[in-house]
Amino acid sequence: MCLAVPMRLVEISGDGVGKVDTGGVTAPVSLMMIPHAQVGDYLIIHAGFGIEVLDANEAEIRLDLFRELAEATAEPAEP
């Protein structure tokens, strides 16, 4: 039931409500649980509610880790 894909907040319409971009289509999202969210943030959404703001720095650290792992592995590319 948990949606793992973060979605970008494109608009704060006021009163704890905003809009996220879901691949070109916008969808309403409640910001009641993440009052500090700002336009441009990536949000974790559960059942129409933003439950957390993605930490862009940590997301980058994670990608770097995987890149390093992949590069350190001297395997031929997959056929």
Which residues would be at the binding site for other proteins (CB under 8 A)? 1-2, 4, 30, 32-35, 44, 46-49, 51-52, 54-56, 58-59, 61-63, 65-67, 69-70, 72-73, 75, 77-78
Looking at the Cβ atoms of 40 and 73, the one nearer to other proteins is 73
73 CB neighbour count, 10 Å cutoff: 7
- Name residues whose C-beta falls within 8 Å of residue 41's C-beta, 6 or more positions apart in sequence: 8, 9, 53, 54
Cα 53 to Cα 42: distance, rounded to the nearest angstrom: 6
Looking at the Cβ atoms of 10 and 44, the one nearer to other proteins is 44
CB of 76 to other proteins, least distance (A): 10
